[in-house]
Amino acid sequence: MSQNFRLEKEGLINRSKKISFKFNGKSYFGYEGDTLASALIANGVHLVGRSFKYHRPRGFFGAGVDDPYALVQLIRNNESIPNVKATEQELFEGLEAKSVNCWPNVNFDIGGINNFLRIFLPAGFYYKTFMWPKSFWYKIYEPFIRKAAGFGVVSHEPDKERYEHKYEYCDLLITGSGPSGLASAYSAAKNGAKVILAEDKPRFGGSLLTSDVNIGNESGKEWADKIITELKGMPNVVVKNRAQVFGYYDHNMLVMSERLTEHLPKSDKFTPKQKLWYIRAKEVVISSGSIERPLVFGNNDTPGVLLSSAAKEYMKVYGVLVGKKPIIFTNNDSAYETAIEFKKNGVDPIVLDSRKELSSDLIKEAKSLGINIKFEYVVVNANGYRKVKSADIAKISDDKTTLGKIENIVCDCICVSGFWTPTIHLASQSGGKTKFNEEIDAFIPSESKQNETTVGSANGIFNLQDSLNTSFEAGYNLSKKITNEDNKLSVPTVVEKKNSKHDKFWCVPLPKGKKYKRFLDFQNDVAVSDIEIAIREGYRSIEHVKRYTTLGMATDQGKTSNLNGLQLVSNIENKLVPEVGHTTFRPPYTPVSIGAIVGREVGKHSKPTRKSPMHSWHEKNNAVFVDAGLWLRPRFYKRGNETLFDASKREAENVRKNVGVCDVTTLGKIDVKGPDAAEFLNRVYTNAWLKLPVGKARYGVMLREDGIVMDDGTTTRVSENHYHMTTTTAQAANVLSHLEYYLQIVWPELNVNVVSTTEQWAGAAIAGPKSRELLQKLFPDTDCSNEGLPFMGFIETKLFGVYARIFRISFSGELAYEVNVESDYGNFMWEKIIEIGNEFKIQPYGTEALSTLRIEMGHVAGSELDGRTTPFDTSLDGLLSKKKDFIGKRSMQKEAFISSKREKIVGVVPLDKKTSIPEGSYIVKDANTKLPNPKLGHVSASCWSVEYNNPFSLAIIKDGKNMIGQKLFALSPLKNKSIPVEIVSSHYVDPKGERVRS
Amino acid sequence: MQKYSVFNLIKNAFSGHQNWEVAWKDPTPKKSYDVIIIGGGGHGLATAYYLAKEHNITNVAIIEKGWIGGGNVGRNTTIIRSNFMHDANGRFNEFSMDLWRNMSQELNFNVMFSPRGIINLAHSDAQMNAYARRGNSMRLNGIDAVLLNREEIKKIIPMADFSDDVRFPIFGGLMQPSAGTARHDAVAWGYARQADSMGVDIIQNCEVLGFDVVGGKIKGIRTSRGDIKAKKIGLCVAGSTSILAEKLNMTLPIETHLLQACVSEPVKPLLDHVVTFGAGHFYCSQSDKGEMVMGGDLDGYNSYAQRGNLPTLQHVLTEGIAMFPFLSKLKMLRTWGGIMDMSMDGSPIIDKTHIEGLYLNCGWCYGGFKSTPASGWTFAHTIAQDKVHKLNADYNLNRFSKGYLLDEKGLGTKTWIS
Amino acid sequence: MLYIKCPYCGTRAQTEFAYGGDATVKRPELNKEITDKEWDEFVYLRKSLRGKHLEFWHHISGCRQWFKVQRDTTTHEIFKTLKPHEEL
Amino acid sequence: MKNISPLNNIHQLGQYGNFENKNDNELVKIKEIKNIFIYQVVQFKNSPKSELVIDNLVFPDVLQVKTNKEIRILWMGPNNWLVISDKNIKNELDNNFSINDFAVTDISHSRSIIELEGSNAKEVIKKGSPFNIENLAENNCCNTIFNGITITIDNIEQNKNKIRIISLRSFGESLYHSITDACLEFGYKAI
């Protein structure tokens, strides 16, 4: 298909490179340098999709980020990407796009029926209905509404693209490469500052690409090209296009998303699609420019109605005519540039200017070109459904309230200009205040909160010379503060056309008897009448208006609608706009890819994985792993087609019968050193530590100040001033911070150092009746007898020449030892233990068997010490020293903690000795009473007792001690189990603890 | 009061919607009231409504510093659930659920309560057990709950990550089918409209500057719109409680923290449930508009700033993609933050105070929205009867010193660790 | 992302630090007889100031030192950072 | 083999990522530093302060590294240093630093060390660490974080862009993945 709307030569596109693409299944072609939007317009396509609520036809209203709609579904690289903005998407060979939010297709959309029902669907209608019958909202109405909502479609498949992050520091970050951005960047860079210049669009230069001005003796564009080229060559400058600074965060941290491959057909697998820059800037220059405001009139959302600045950009940048019978409808001079541009390209525009006849450079030029200008004229209504066919226009009275006789003129586009709104989002995000500027009827930054300076039209300066003067000045002053250099450039002189004053008028009154919808928010279909209803119903705060009507809550975040909305509210409420106030700007300025925010921490790498030195041995030996915090631990070692239950039972039995070995490297280890180490331990543990002899270990419990158990473990006195503390795997990091807190803040007088040695030592727990024999063979020259190495004893020795530490401690309740060697030797130790252990039928055991063993011994662990239990609850109160003070002791007196109703740990055995009690069950007196069924307590841990070959559980129940012997029920409604049980002591096996001492 | 109905909607359509009445009036404050509720958020508006409806106390004013519904009721992720482990919390929030189920009809305002079900994913057997403990507790309290295994979860949310390239595989999860979501703004507006119609004065743009306390008894408040007397005053200002407490020389077991949330661009429906990630602090649901509503973690340091910080968001969305890889392909559209009363055990406080006639409703942490009706109902009762109802008996202020804590998470007093 | 000056290492990104809460609460001395009220004030009660707030941070991915920060809880502006035993 | 280094299972020699038609300096070179001795030396808060010396090296001040052929002494924090040495100097340290005033702890096996070299080495750091690496001069070091993993960066040689990244041993493989993944864009060579 030929490009009927493509101009002969105008534009910055590369006409030597044709690009073919598809839209809604139809093939077209455009040129390199086109956006999808410009290429479609060149092909005469204006209908891009359907609006959110009424499913009205939507066309292109802007030429970039300002477009309030233009969302398509893009197919790139076999990925279907939702909600891509056609006015920003650059054209690439083979691009495919589809309209969204329409069915069966964009030309005939069933949803369009809403448009005819629209009088029944005013703002907030859904709050007033869909309430009967009761169940219908969720079952009938809501699913229907959900189906109609949403735009693009996203598949379930993961994202194949790559996203990366980059942390940068600079002196000046400049956001936008328009005249003011270029000027500040250039003068700062020349003054020695480290500068980052970010431009959202592919091309640098901003308004200079389309405005007809001269800077020095060059055209605006030539000047921009020259400056950019020079900046790119400077070592202290980073220049980025396709880079949007979307967020201004605390302490001058700004975030920029750089699009690296979206303009290409596809990318190699190592180049990220986007790079997210975290930029910590000493100073920020906000040169984000301004966005043209729409004028509001009947059916102003019809495709073919668009911003006059966009029409100009399509001509000058893309060489595309948005129409051949244009109407320019304006309240200010800038639209005349568009009119003149049309004329230069052989198209005769009609200009409707709401102002009384006046004169200015531009108006003179327009007249001299013979352009038809109608002053005091407005567009009343746009006719046409899928595309503008004609406009109803009329003369308007001085006071802008009454319209003259309606005339109809044929046209194929209406270019509107309601003056300019500075883009102050970043300035506001920084926490800076804004003020309303009566001159331009818009907000501009006032006092800045962080180190930011706003320049150019973003600061409400629409005159190029002033803009350059202030920007050069800003770049110089800000850089001088940082570099202390003093290289000031002279500002080039500008030849530009002087503008006459704009007209504050922006909304055309309805002609008598007409109910035209006059739209403010084109995506969410918010019309003037909706705002009126909201206020009529008392939703008067601007936030209420916004939420009730959804004004400015669409994906464009109200870039073109918010200010007109404010104007309207201020008119109705008869307040000044600043009294109405605007809703706060929050990041992101434009929607930003979630993938980019996350970066590379995805899939398996969403969190780090910690591994023990024996990890690969476990892998080779069919270990099934379990997450313990960030650690991976063997849960059991699978043999054949064993289940978890079989394997853990086998492993646990083997520990009770022979000997087993378990990787305990992950247990936290902390070296506590110093003259005051003993005193320190005495304060952090609940029991006494001053008299622990060298070469001995002791079990200890730590509390939080609120009296809840924090952690437990054994600590060994290695030498006079040196203790080796162990913690649980889960609490290791917290305990270290906890200890540092008390040493550095609470008890600075103590001379103690704590450092984590968790990874210095590989640990193997050797447990079982045959563990001593095995140990003796592992350490032939060491006396491993009960006398030589008694319970809670500790010795340093050598394992086949490798330095080793042996602790005689037991978690399993069996005769057991823990051997530590330096981590590089961990695997060597492990293989030796297995090799020599074979004759004792050694088996490695995982965490599942480990918990079986500890449960039937009644040793508490994480499932009991869950951050809610006290030493009393867990039968650790024996370890509460009466003599000395310690962390959390004062809380032990709390009424609830000592009350007899308090829950206490007990053992639970099913009466049938067969049925396992699911963890998380509750113990109750009566299984069949009506709900709510009063609970005595919960089952914290369950196992199959390998000692007695029947199920056994630990539970924490009210008045536990006196419950022993009672017959109760364990209920698990989730698994609908009701199990008759007997309460027994939590120490099910070896209550006297003889084995560990044997 | 004008009834909202489809018939009325059609009727009004033909008069160009010119005849709708205001949803609530904009009165000037009277000299005195029987009860003043400070805070025009969800809880405050609900309290006023139930004072009028359940206790016939209509000489009531709601004093709001800004605009009603502007606090956390207007900036949350709209989740409604009663999946608690502690009996007190379960009982309270299940009562709340009952009120939610009838709210649209009772208020004649469609709050769009949508019982789509909430799923808490578990990523280890230990976590499955913890959820079993919670779920069984719910069931024994008469609250619906089901424990689902990996395959059952996969049937319901196939878009979750069931691949091998996953750090924390999904083991299963706990589901409360009757939990869901509601349109947050509508809740505030619905309560406001009914309270107003029963005579409650809703006074916006009115800041409380101080309190009049004489002989241990509350007498009234000083506001930016003049002094107002009252027999009883209820404090209902989540996030700002500590600021008002300071004016009363009270120090409370709460800290103020910021919770962030964000939404993606709208896409066609693909997620019908509310889902929470078990290996972190991420939760997600899809709004009727098609936006993915995502929430997560506290910013992690005391904050009154209603603006969030990026590391938290990045951390939260990382977990988001770990749960739902497809999220990576969407764009983040809007972010916002709400300031929370984080209590020292994660559970709320609804109680009388040592000052006669002064009542306290705070400490909702990041779970206040779901409790809005029950909070209003019990607070109204506590104020009207000058004694706590059995539903909020455990939410007393002295539970901390006595040790009767309601710690759902077991994190103790480090309120910033969510 | 906050930019916090560690009194030992210099100014670093927030992600290197862990928050430590209100720095004005003082732990009662060991073995000192105190009332329940005093104890509760230490364990549970917080002023949670709006505006200037003195708080602990821990340079956990740095020098592992605890220190004090005076920060505005509405703007996050940091006025001063101190070693644990320096006073404002 | 008796001893196995932390990255033994993951560090596979070869070229990866965008390495084609790049000259050697453009590629990031990655190496595991192993069989090295690492000691933490801490002087107690209340012990008499004096100039600390080992092997004629004065213990450095904030963020600095003192070095000779065999030993690098890194400042880790107030009164806290990391002594990294090719040879075992435990006895020397014990002799120089009395247990009443110092805590000397051997943590040689608790760390894994990656060495990066090449023009893009610092760009790799920038992809995961918020630390301002451009300001880290030769023989300076810092503790910071990389994609959530606590690390120590030691700037060995500025002109060669040679830096070491030290992490806890158990995080070694995850960090190695994270670093090499960040290298793919430039191409890297495991040596």
Domains identified in chain D and CATH numbers: 14-35+110-190 (3.30.1360.120), 37-108 (3.30.70)
Query: pLDDT band at residue B122, thresholds of 50, 70 and 90?
Result: very high
- Select from C6, C14, C43, C74 the residue whose CB has the most chain A CBs within 10 Å, as the one to mutate to test that interface: C43
Specify the amino acid at residue A788: G
Query: pLDDT band at residue A475, thresholds of 50, 70 and 90?
Result: very high
Please report, for residues A723, C9, D100, D113, the alpha-carbon distance to residue D83 in angstroms, rounded to integers and kept in the order given.
Answer: 22, 18, 19, 14
Write out chain A residues lying below 8 Å of B413, CB-based.
704-706
**H-type helices in A711-770, by residue range?**
732-741
Instruction: Inspect the interface and report whether the beta carbons of D2 and A802 lie closer than 8 Å.
Output: yes
Query: pLDDT band at residue A955, thresholds of 50, 70 and 90?
Result: very high
CB A198 within 8 A of CB A281: no
Write out chain A residues lying below 8 Å of D103, CB-based.
671, 673-674, 753, 755
Average pLDDT over residues A8-21: 95
The answer to whether residue B306 scores a pLDDT higher than 80 is: no
DSSP string covering D83-123: EEESS--HHHHHHHS-TTTEEEEE-GGGEEEEEEESTTHHH
The per-residue pLDDT for A2 is 66
Specify the amino acid at residue A387: K
Report the gap between the CA of C81 and the closest CA in chain B (Å). Answer: 15
> Comparing C-alpha atoms, which of B132, D55, B347, B23 is closest to residue A916?
B132
The answer to whether residue A1 scores a pLDDT higher than 60 is: no
The per-residue pLDDT for A156 is 93
Instruction: Inspect the interface and report whether the beta carbons of D130 and C10 lie closer than 8 Å.
Output: no
User: First and final CA of chain B: distance in angstroms?
Assistant: 44
Does the beta carbon of A925 lie under 8 angstroms from any beta carbon of chain D? no
Instruction: Inspect the interface and report whether the beta carbons of C28 and A890 lie closer than 8 Å.
Output: yes
Judged by DSSP in three states, A83 sits in strand
Q: Residue D142's beta-bridge partner residues? A: D153
The per-residue pLDDT for C86 is 96
Identify whether A932 is preceded by a cis peptide bond (ω within 30 of 0): yes
Number of CB atoms found within 10 A of residue D114's CB? 22
| Mean pLDDT over the full length of chain D | 96
The per-residue pLDDT for B171 is 97
Please report, for residues A602, A864, B417, C58, the alpha-carbon distance to residue B321 in angstroms, rounded to integers and kept in the order given.
Answer: 7, 32, 22, 29
Does the beta carbon of A20 lie under 8 angstroms from any beta carbon of chain D? no
Write out chain C residues lying below 8 Å of D77, CB-based.
8-9, 59, 62-65
Does the beta carbon of C2 lie under 8 angstroms from any beta carbon of chain D? no
The per-residue pLDDT for B297 is 86
Query: pLDDT band at residue A266, thresholds of 50, 70 and 90?
Result: confident
Cβ-Cβ contacts under 8 Å between A and D: the total is 132
Average pLDDT over residues A846-854: 97
| Mean pLDDT over the full length of chain B | 96
The per-residue pLDDT for A300 is 97
Does the beta carbon of C44 lie under 8 angstroms from any beta carbon of chain A? yes
Q: CB-based contacts of A335: which residues, under 8 Å, 6+ apart?
A: A308, A328, A329, A351, A415, A416, A417
Token pair belonging to B273: 């449930």
The answer to whether residue A150 scores a pLDDT higher than 90 is: no
- Select from C44, C55, C70 the residue whose CB has the most chain B CBs within 10 Å, as the one to mutate to test that interface: C44
Write out chain D residues lying below 8 Å of C86, CB-based.
none
Write out chain C residues lying below 8 Å of A746, CB-based.
27
Does the beta carbon of A737 lie under 8 angstroms from any beta carbon of chain C? yes
| pLDDT digits 0-9 by tens, A633-677 | 999 999 999 999 999 999 999 999 999 999 999 999 999 999 999
CB A182 within 8 A of CB A154: no
Among A22-36, A226-240, A356-370, D44-58, name the one with the lowest average pLDDT.
Answer: D44-58
Measure the CA dihedral A77/A82/A83/A85, to 10°: 10
| pLDDT digits 0-9 by tens, B64-109 | 999 999 999 998 999 999 999 999 999 999 999 999 999 999 999 9
Degrees, nearest 5: CA angle A86-A92-A97: 45
Among A64-73, A957-966, B405-414, name the one with the lowest average pLDDT.
Answer: B405-414
The larger pLDDT score, comparing residue B409 to residue A511, is at A511
Instruction: Inspect the interface and report whether the beta carbons of C65 and D77 lie closer than 8 Å.
Output: yes
The per-residue pLDDT for A273 is 96
**Residue in chain B lying closest to C54 (CA):** B302
- Select from A744, A750, A752, A882 the residue whose CB has the most chain C CBs within 10 Å, as the one to mutate to test that interface: A744
Own/partner contacts of A370-375, CB < 8 Å, gap of 24 or more, are A370/A343, A371/A339, A371/A340, A371/A343, A372/A348, A374/A350
**Residue in chain A lying closest to C18 (CA):** A737
> Comparing C-alpha atoms, which of B153, B185, B209 is closest to residue B324?
B153
Give backbone dihedrals phi and psi of A626, rounded to 5 degrees, phi first. Answer: -135, 145
Instruction: Inspect the interface and report whether the beta carbons of D78 and C8 lie closer than 8 Å.
Output: yes
Cβ-nearest to A932 among B108, B126, B141 = B141
For residue B181, what is the enclosing H or E element? strand B180-181
Specify the amino acid at residue A469: N
Report the gap between the CA of C69 and the closest CA in chain D (Å). Answer: 18
Those chains having 3 or more beta-carbon pairs within 8 angstroms of chain B are: A, C
Token pair belonging to A3: 């490009």
Specify the amino acid at residue A609: T
Q: CB-based contacts of B405: which residues, under 8 Å, 6+ apart?
A: A868, A896, B344, B345, B347, B399
Query: pLDDT band at residue B418, thresholds of 50, 70 and 90?
Result: low
Q: CB-based contacts of A801: which residues, under 8 Å, 6+ apart?
A: none
Does the beta carbon of C25 lie under 8 angstroms from any beta carbon of chain A? no
**Residue in chain A lying closest to C60 (CA):** A737
Number of CB atoms found within 10 A of residue A390's CB? 17
Report the gap between the CA of A269 and the closest CA in chain D (Å). Answer: 9
Can you tell me the distance from the alpha carbon of A194 to that of A173, in angstroms, rounded to the nearest whole number? 9
The per-residue pLDDT for A461 is 96
Average pLDDT over residues B100-120: 97
Please report, for residues A416, A495, B152, the alpha-carbon distance to residue A312 in angstroms, rounded to integers and kept in the order given.
Answer: 11, 20, 57
- Select from A721, A824, A825, A827 the residue whose CB has the most chain D CBs within 10 Å, as the one to mutate to test that interface: A824
The per-residue pLDDT for D1 is 66
Give backbone dihedrals phi and psi of A186, rounded to 5 degrees, phi first. Answer: -65, -50
Can you tell me the distance from the alpha carbon of A250 to that of A750, in angstroms, rounded to the nearest whole number? 38
> Comparing C-alpha atoms, which of D116, D115, D120 is closest to residue D186?
D120
The per-residue pLDDT for B307 is 81
> Is residue B169 exposed (0-12), middle (13-18) or buried (19+ Cβ within 10 Å)?
middle
**Residue in chain A lying closest to B183 (CA):** A127
Token pair belonging to B15: 């008069």
Degrees, nearest 5: CA angle A813-A816-A820: 130
> Comparing C-alpha atoms, which of A9, A765, A598, A642 is closest to residue A320?
A9
The answer to whether residue A611 scores a pLDDT higher than 90 is: yes
Token pair belonging to A85: 């903005």
| Mean pLDDT over the full length of chain A | 95
Token pair belonging to A315: 């001509």
Judged by DSSP in three states, B266 sits in coil
Average pLDDT over residues D12-27: 93
| pLDDT digits 0-9 by tens, A969-980 | 999 999 999 999
The per-residue pLDDT for B200 is 98
Please report, for residues A177, A309, A762, the alpha-carbon distance to residue A204 in angstroms, rounded to integers and kept in the order given.
Answer: 6, 17, 59
The per-residue pLDDT for C2 is 96
Can you tell me the distance from the alpha carbon of B38 to that of D112, in angstroms, rounded to the nearest whole number? 58
DSSP string covering A399-448: TS--B---EEEE-SEEEEE--EEE--HHHHHTT--EEEEGGGTEEEE-S-
Report the gap between the CA of B74 and the closest CA in chain A (Å). Answer: 9
Average pLDDT over residues B289-318: 92
Going across the sheet that includes C78-82, the strands are C18-22, C52-58, C66-72, C78-82
DSSP string covering B278-313: TTSS-EEEE-TTSPEEEEEEEEEEE---SS--HHHH
Does the beta carbon of B207 lie under 8 angstroms from any beta carbon of chain C? no
The answer to whether residue A109 scores a pLDDT higher than 90 is: no
Write out chain B residues lying below 8 Å of A973, CB-based.
135-136, 139-140
The answer to whether residue A262 scores a pLDDT higher than 90 is: yes
Cβ-nearest to A597 among B158, B313, B404 = B313
Going through A38-161 in order, the beta strands assigned E by DSSP cover 49-50, 57-58, 71-76, 79-85, 96-99
Can you tell me the distance from the alpha carbon of A595 to that of B162, in angstroms, rounded to the nearest whole number? 19
- Select from B65, B302, B313, B400 the residue whose CB has the most chain C CBs within 10 Å, as the one to mutate to test that interface: B302
Instruction: Inspect the interface and report whether the beta carbons of D4 and A613 lie closer than 8 Å.
Output: yes
Can you tell me the distance from the alpha carbon of A106 to that of A25, in angstroms, rounded to the nearest whole number? 12
The answer to whether residue C56 scores a pLDDT higher than 90 is: yes
Judged by DSSP in three states, A192 sits in coil
Does the beta carbon of B99 lie under 8 angstroms from any beta carbon of chain A? no
Can you tell me the distance from the alpha carbon of C17 to that of D144, in angstroms, rounded to the nearest whole number? 10
Q: CB-based contacts of A787: which residues, under 8 Å, 6+ apart?
A: none
Can you tell me the distance from the alpha carbon of A61 to that of A523, in angstroms, rounded to the nearest whole number? 11
**H-type helices in C1-88, by residue range?**
36-43
Specify the amino acid at residue A982: E
The larger pLDDT score, comparing residue A78 to residue B388, is at B388
Can you tell me the distance from the alpha carbon of A712 to that of A875, in angstroms, rounded to the nearest whole number? 13
The per-residue pLDDT for A133 is 87
Cβ-nearest to C50 among B300, B304, B414 = B304
Does the beta carbon of C35 lie under 8 angstroms from any beta carbon of chain A? no
The per-residue pLDDT for A3 is 82
Cβ-nearest to C30 among A253, A431, A683 = A683
User: First and final CA of chain C: distance in angstroms?
Assistant: 25
Report the gap between the CA of A610 and the closest CA in chain D (Å). Answer: 5
Report the gap between the CA of A955 and the closest CA in chain D (Å). Answer: 35
CB A156 within 8 A of CB A104: no
Does the beta carbon of D87 lie under 8 angstroms from any beta carbon of chain A? no
| pLDDT digits 0-9 by tens, D51-84 | 899 999 999 999 999 999 999 999 999 999 999 9
Q: CB-based contacts of A116: which residues, under 8 Å, 6+ apart?
A: none
Cβ-nearest to A280 among C3, C58, C75 = C3
Write out chain B residues lying below 8 Å of C74, CB-based.
303-305
In total, chain C counts a number of residues equal to: 88
- What is the pTM for the complete model shown? 0.96
Can you tell me the distance from the alpha carbon of A530 to that of B136, in angstroms, rounded to the nearest whole number? 49
Write out chain C residues lying below 8 Å of A167, CB-based.
13
| pLDDT digits 0-9 by tens, D122-171 | 999 999 999 999 999 999 999 999 999 999 999 999 999 999 999 999 99
**Residue in chain A lying closest to C23 (CA):** A745
Instruction: Inspect the interface and report whether the beta carbons of C61 and D145 lie closer than 8 Å.
Output: yes
> Comparing C-alpha atoms, which of C85, A265, A962 is closest to residue D45?
C85
| pLDDT digits 0-9 by tens, B18-69 | 999 999 999 999 999 999 999 999 999 999 999 999 999 999 999 999 999 9
Average pLDDT over residues A420-439: 94
Judged by DSSP in three states, A305 sits in strand
> Comparing C-alpha atoms, which of D88, D91, D92 is closest to residue D53?
D92
